[in-house]
Amino acid sequence: MRVLGVDTSTRTGSVAVLEGDTVLAGVSVTSTQTHAKRLMSAIDATLEMAGLTIAECDGFAVITGPGSFTGLRIGISTVKGFGFATKKPVTGVSTLEALVYQFPSFPHLICPVLDARKGQIYTALYESASYMKWKRVVEDCAAEPRQWLKQIQRLCLFVGDGAIVYGELIRETLGSLAHFAPPYLNRVRASVVAYIGMKQILDGQIADVARLVPHYIRKSDAEIKLEKGRDY
């Protein structure tokens, strides 16, 4: 099975094609340029390197959030278009889960952390149930980092760009209980997105393309302003 994975949840966007357990091709770029300007060229380059066309992909997987509101919309809209055009299955993948998937046998807590800005983080808590299987201990949420960290009483691995931004606070709060992923694993990899998507497709966990939407967790500024306007 060939699956195209797409991540546009942060400034670092990535695209990859996976066939079974083999990564055929992939592109990862960190840029100030918007995903709208670079996503399709990244997809075209990845498919060209893999020697495939969109029609030859058996399915598509896309990060649905949390993350950049605009970035998520662009990635999801693009993959939905592929799904509608090819009639191939589409799946949505959690940003936080994709980060956790890089540690298949870590025996302690794993805390994926994204910088949500405005003094908040997007985060959750996972622990290993068995090899390549995790249990979500705390659901995805947007939280103030200092308060969030108080609940962690065991050794915990932190991964994600939020672990870099708030690394000093994490060390100060948890001391030796805090472990950190190496820098090269702090970004979502599209190959991991494709792998999770492939598993979901094989397990029958296919998204309704028409209803696939971003999982923002936190309301957008536009929604907040709209709600405030209704109060008058």
35-69 tens-digit pLDDT: 999 999 999 999 999 999 999 999 999 999 999 99
| pTM reported for the whole predicted model | 0.92
90-94 vs 59-65, strand pairing mode: parallel
4-24 tens-digit pLDDT: 999 999 999 999 999 999 999
**110 shares a domain with 155:** yes
**153 shares a domain with 49:** no
Among 180, 200, 218, give the residue marking a domain's end. Answer: 180
- How far is the C-alpha of 18 from the C-alpha of 195, rounded, in Å? 7
**77 shares a domain with 30:** yes
Tally of domains in the chain = 2
**194 shares a domain with 175:** no
**29 shares a domain with 57:** yes
Lookup: tokens for 149: 């960290």
In CATH, what number is assigned to the domain containing residue 142?
3.30.420.40
**206 shares a domain with 132:** no
Mean pLDDT over 80-104 rounds to 97
Give residue 78's domain range: 2-95+187-230
Closest alpha carbon to 1 in 208, 212, 205, 199: 199
Among the residues of 89-217, which ranges form H helices?
A: 95-100, 145-149, 161-165, 167-174, 190-202
